[in-house]
Chain A
Amino acid sequence: MAAVMRKIGEPPAEAAVQADSDAEIIRLSAQEPERFAQIFDRHYAEIHGYVARRLGSGLADDVAAETFLIAFDRRDRYDAAYPIARPWLYGIASNLVFRHHRTEIRQYRALARTGADDVADGHAEQIERRVDAQSVRGALAAALAAIAPADRDVLLLVAWAGLSGEEAARALGVPAGTVRSRLHRARKKVRAALGNAYPLADGEDS
C-alpha cells in the first residue's frame, strides 16, 4: 500500500510532455512525427462530435480521421503563436465538411421533417431531458439548411464548437469583421426560425 501511495504521489514520467502546449507538440513533431498522436488524443473526440452533428456519425468517422491526417501533413505550417490547436483543427474539419455539404443539407432537411435523427432515437433516456430543445430542432434544422455555407460554418463553429469569433476567424482564415457579419446574418435566420416556432418567446425576449 505504501508503495502504491508513493507511486501516486510521484508525477508521471510523461508529465512534462503532457503539459506541453499543442504548439510545442506540433513543433516537436516536425522531427518526431509520433508526437502528433498527442494532438489526436487531445482533440479527436471533440472534432468527431462536431463533424457528427453536421454530417452524421458515419461520415464523421472518415472526416475526423482525415482532419488529423491533413493536420499532420500541414504541421510544419502551424502558427506557433497559438498554443491551442483547436481552432486550427476545426478549420481543417470545416473545409472537409464543406466537401460534403450536399449530405449536410440533406441531413438538416430530414431533421426538419422529423425533428429527430437516428442518434436521438438511440438514446431514449436522454430524450426527455432534451425535449424542449428537441422540439425546436426541426425548425432549426430547416434554418440551417437554408443558411449559406460560409455563414453556417461560422454559426456552427461558434454555437457547436464553442469557438470565439476571433478563433472562428482564425479557423476559417477570414478577417474578424467577416466572421461578425456572417454570424450576424446566420443568427438572424436562426432567430427567425425560433420566432416562428415560438412566437411568444420571440415576443418576450427580443
Chain B
Amino acid sequence: MMDDLKILRDAWEGTDAPSPHARAQARAALLERATGPRRARRRLRPARTGVRLLAIGAMAASIAIGVTVVQTTGGTGTTGRPRSVLPGIPAGPVANAAEALDRAAAAADARTFTPPRPDQWIYTEFRIRTSVHAGGLVTGGPYQTFTQRSWQRADGKKRAQIQAGRLKVLDESGNAILPRGYFVLATLPTDPAALLRWVDKVNGKKPGSKGEPRRAFETLSVILRQNLLPPRLEAAIFRTIRTLPGVTLVDNAADAAGRPAIALGMIAEGWLHEEVMIDPKSYAYLGERAISIKGHTLRGAGDDPDVVAGYVKKGVLQNLTVRTAVRIVGEPGQRTS
C-alpha cells in the first residue's frame, strides 16, 4: 500500500530550524511571564489568558460530584435543637463565609497535633477530577480522575514521588516561590494582618499599592493545600481569608468523595468560582473546587480574538481536588505512619 503519510512527510522535509533570534525572543517572553521583570522576580504572576485553577496537576478516580445542601449540624439533640459536634463551636448551618471561616479557624486551633521531626516525611495524597483534555477546559465533560501522591521531608530539603512505578527522591531546589517544609512554614506569622502582608510581599505587591485579594486567596489556598501546617498557622490562614473582600460561601457545595462540603471562594475572570472546601461538621480542610458560575465563551488568542474556541456552561465543574491524606510518615514511599 502506498505510504501517503510518508510521502507527505518527506515532501516537507528539511524545514528551517528556528532562528536563534526568534528562539531567544520566545524564550525571553516566556521567562518574563514566568518570573516577571527582574525587579520583581519573586512575584507570582497571574495568568493572562485561559483559566488558572488552584489545583496542581490532575488526579482521577470516581469522585462522586453531587450537589448537596450542606448540613452543618451533628444531628438534633433531645430538645430538638441542633447539637454541635465540636465543643466550643456553634452548631447549625453557617450563615456566611465569615462564620464558616471563624469555625474553621477555631477548629484548627482546637486540634491536637504532634509536629514532625525534621527527618520525618509528610505524605500528601490528592484525588483530582478534571478534564480529560490536557490543558483544556471542561465544557461539559468528559472527566478524568486520578490519585497524586508525594512526599516531602519535614525540613523541606527533599521531596519524593512515584515515577514510572518507582519511588524517586529528589533534592528540593532552593528557588521555590512559596516556602517548603514544615519548619519553614512554622516561622510564618500567625497574626492575620501580618500574614497578609507576607503574602502580598511574596506576590510582589509594591509598597503603598493595594494588595490583590484574589492572588492572596490563591496563595493562601496553595499553602493550605500542599502542606501539613502547624494548627496555629492553619487557623491564621482561615482568619486571613476571612479578611479578604469578595470571599463568598457556597451553600450547596460539592459532595466530594461522598462527603458534603462547605465551599468558600472567589470569582476569577468573572465566571469561574475558585473555592476552598471544608468539612461541614469538623471544619477540617477538604480540598479545592473550581466551577463555572455563569456561561463563558472562550475566545481565541493570536491575531483573531473573535474566534470562538468553545463555550463553558454555567455550573460545570472544572476541577475538583480532594486531599485524601496529609500525614507524617517515617520514610518516603510510606503511606501510613
Neighbour of B10 across the interface among A73, A75, A123, A133, CB < 8 A: A133
Identify whether the interface residues of B are mostly helix, strand, loop, or mixed. loop
Does B81 make an interface contact (CB < 8 A)? no
How many contacting A-B pairs (Cβ < 8 A)?
229
**A45 x B17 contact (CB < 8 A):** yes
Residues in chain A near residue B34, CB distance under 8 A: 29, 33-34, 36-37, 72
**B178 x A48 contact (CB < 8 A):** no
Identify whether the interface residues of A are mostly helix, strand, loop, or mixed. helix
**B173 x A17 contact (CB < 8 A):** yes
Residues in chain A near residue B301, CB distance under 8 A: 66, 70, 96, 99
Give Cα A143–Cα B50 distance, bound, in whole angstroms: 34
**Size of chain A's interface in residues, with CB distance under 8 A?**
85
Contact with A along B32-75 (1 / 0, CB 8 A): 01110000000011011111111111111000000000000000
**Size of chain B's interface in residues, with CB distance under 8 A?**
75
Does B80 make an interface contact (CB < 8 A)? no
Residues in chain A near residue B177, CB distance under 8 A: 31-33
**B35 x A34 contact (CB < 8 A):** yes
Cβ distance B184 to chain A, nearest Cβ, rounded Å: 13
**A64 x B26 contact (CB < 8 A):** yes
**A63 x B18 contact (CB < 8 A):** no
Known A72-B33, A74-B47: A44·B53 in contact at CB below 8 Å:
no
Residues in chain A near residue B146, CB distance under 8 A: 80-81
**A99 x B50 contact (CB < 8 A):** no
**A70 x B45 contact (CB < 8 A):** no
Give Cα A130–Cα B7 distance, bound, in whole angstroms: 11
Residues in chain B near residue A201, CB distance under 8 A: 2
**B8 x A99 contact (CB < 8 A):** no
Does A24 make an interface contact (CB < 8 A)? yes
**B18 x A206 contact (CB < 8 A):** no
Does A95 make an interface contact (CB < 8 A)? yes
Chain B residues proximal to chain A, CB less than 8 Å: 1-2, 4-5, 7-19, 22-23, 25-27, 29-31, 33-35, 44-45, 47-60, 130-137, 144, 146, 148, 161, 163-164, 170-171, 173, 175-178, 222, 226, 300-304, 307, 309, 319
Chain A residues proximal to chain B, CB less than 8 Å: 16-17, 20-21, 23-24, 26-27, 29-34, 36-37, 40-41, 44-45, 48-49, 52-53, 57, 60-61, 63-66, 68-83, 85, 87-88, 91-92, 95-96, 98-100, 119-120, 122-123, 126, 130, 132-134, 136-137, 140, 155, 158-160, 162, 170-171, 173, 187, 190-191, 194, 201-202, 205-206
